[in-house]
Structure 1
Amino acid sequence: MECGAALEVPSRGRRPRYCSRSCQAKAYRARVAAGATVTRAATADPERSLTVDAIVQAAIDVADAEGAGALSMRRIAAELGAGTMSLYRYVPGKEELLVLMVEEVIARQSARTPELTGWRERMTAVARNDWELYQKYPWVLPFVTSPRTVLLQNMSEEVEWSLASFEGFDLTPVEKFQLVMTVTNYTSGVGLLMANDREQRLNSGVELADWWEGPGREIASEVVVSERHPQLSALMAAQPGIADFDQAFEFGLARVLDGIELLLDGR
């Protein structure tokens, strides 16, 4: 007896431990409050427990494979072989889970390298680190590109290191931040192009180069007329669309840094 109430003992079968469902639920909540772990459903590995880390990793796996649009507490629970409501004992909701996901993937890689001291070296490392992050986890882009993004612990360390790149120049704190934003906004802008193409590729199964050689070129040919658009016509003949996101990113990054260098020469 778990609650002290008298129990009816059946003539056959297992002896009951609870007098009612409410009594069973009360005992269960007491065990959770005491720190008991909640194991996965019988269909999952019984050796593994449902934890915040396990939930976050499952959510990352779903977002990586199916895109951010597939994220839901129900979908993540299915990935873990657990009941949907059981997740809420560890994570209040989807928005809070997304914060934990972003914090986790940012923690996995960092641009902060002690031997990088020059501002251009540092900002190149920051941009390339962000670019790699967006390639691995494109679903982070809507979070990091929001002007109301919560400044996470790992993110704050990266921003502090980036701002220190411009130490020694005659710049205000706001100007330093604006220079960092110039580089990171450029990177996230190209990252959004890449992420959108990835989403469309997942939905259609068609690679970007194949799309440009087929429907893309056909649509463009209806709009671009050589007599009216000689520059666009030359571009379409040479290379329609973005053939290589990495090459486009590196070319633009160098130009952004060149512009910052002109500014800093006078400071």
Structure 2
Amino acid sequence: MAIDPPAATGSGEPSRTLALLWGDASAAPRRRGPGRSVTVDQVVDAALSLADDQGLGSVTMRAVAEAVGVSAMSVYTYVPGKAELLDLMVDTLYRRMHRPAWRRSLWRTRLTKVAEANRELLTAHPWLTEVAALSRPPLGPGVMGKYEHELAAFDNTGLSDVATDAALTYLLGFVQSHARSAHDAQRATTDTAKSDDQWWAANQPVLEQAFDPETYPRSVRIGSAAGEAQGGAWSADSAWEFGLARTLDGLAALIDRR
């Protein structure tokens, strides 16, 4: 029977999760029976494929076992449970992110690349926006490598250690919020089998009544101008460009004072 996935990372038993994240094979419970035929990495990759293709709800221990060709019970010899598997999935994606050297580029260029890398990750794996908890990250090599690399993007900004951590959280919070909105917009299109243009066209008679220029002059004027400029009521790319620029402007006000 399928079980709802954990709400966020950090839901598993900490000692076993950390041991698995850092490569301690003894973290999985020992069971009698034949030797292992697959690896923990293969189990994680199977779970990632399920989540990417069918959504996080499809990731059950039974489904993962079938994907790697082992019995439903033997998969527990690799990963203690679903909560620990979720942490491994998130940390694996973070570990595989490209981390180019920052060299001597300006801080705004570096932070733009941080934001874009995270947007690409969340776009490729939209279920991450549902589970990647900032307060309880899995603390494996992927998380630590990502954190170290992104903190280095703030080098020579003059920010204190505490302000640097807060600034990074602020930047990633914008990216995660945007990615979630973009995912919701895409899902609405998929679920209704209609593009935004088709939806607006189908509801035009009702919308004409709602958009009364005498009652809602600003809504009609500004909404029409925005819709024409960005090709719809909301554009993921337009929202990204505007939001990222304003986020960096906010950080500039803090950094430039130093």
Which TM-score band (shorter chain)?
Answer: 0.7 to 0.9
Structure 1 pair 231/118, CA: closer, same or farther in 2 (3 Å)? same
Between 146-155 and 50-59, the greater mean CA deviation after superposition: 146-155
Following superposition, the deviation at residue 158 of structure 1 comes to 2.2
Find the aligned partners of 2:140 and 2:189 in 1 and give their Cα distance: 31
Deviations 1:86-119 (A, max 9, x none): 2111011111111111122222223442435421
TM-score relative to the length of structure 2: 0.75
Partner of 1:37: 36
Structure 1 pair 146/230, CA: closer, same or farther in 2 (3 Å)? farther
Find the aligned partners of 2:181 and 2:150 in 1 and give their Cα distance: 24
Kindly report the root-mean-square deviation, in angstroms, between the aligned alpha carbons of the 2 structures. 2.5
Q: State the percentage of identical aligned residues.
A: 30
Partner of 1:83: 71
- 2:140 equivalent to 1:178: no
Structure 1 pair 73/221, CA: closer, same or farther in 2 (3 Å)? farther
Between 185-194 and 205-214, the greater mean CA deviation after superposition: 205-214
Structure 1 pair 79/185, CA: closer, same or farther in 2 (3 Å)? same
Give the counterpart of 2:103 among 111, 115, 135. 115
Match of 2:73, SS state, is: helix
Q: Does the CA-based 8 Å contact 2:61-2:81 persist in structure 1?
A: yes
Counterpart of 2:239 in structure 1: which amino acid?
A
Q: Does the CA-based 8 Å contact 1:111-1:126 persist in structure 2?
A: no
Structure 1 portions without partners, runs of 5+: 1-28, 39-49
- 4+ residue runs of structure 1 moved beyond 4 angstroms? 217-224
Find the aligned partners of 1:169 and 1:53 in 2 and give their Cα distance: 38
Structure 1 pair 169/54, CA: closer, same or farther in 2 (3 Å)? closer
Give the counterpart of 2:179 among 187, 191, 195. 191
Deviations 1:194-240 (A, max 9, x none): 2223444444433444334435x677656544233323212442414
Structure 2 portions without partners, runs of 5+: 1-30
Give the counterpart of 1:60 among 48, 58, 70. 48
The higher relative CO (CA closer than 8 Å, separation ≥ 6) is in 2
Report the structure number with the largest CA radius of gyration: 1
Structure 1 pair 81/168, CA: closer, same or farther in 2 (3 Å)? closer
Equivalence map 1:64-143=2 (5 Å)? 64-115=52-103, 117-143=105-131
Following superposition, the deviation at residue 180 of structure 1 comes to 1.1
Following superposition, the deviation at residue 71 of structure 1 comes to 1.7
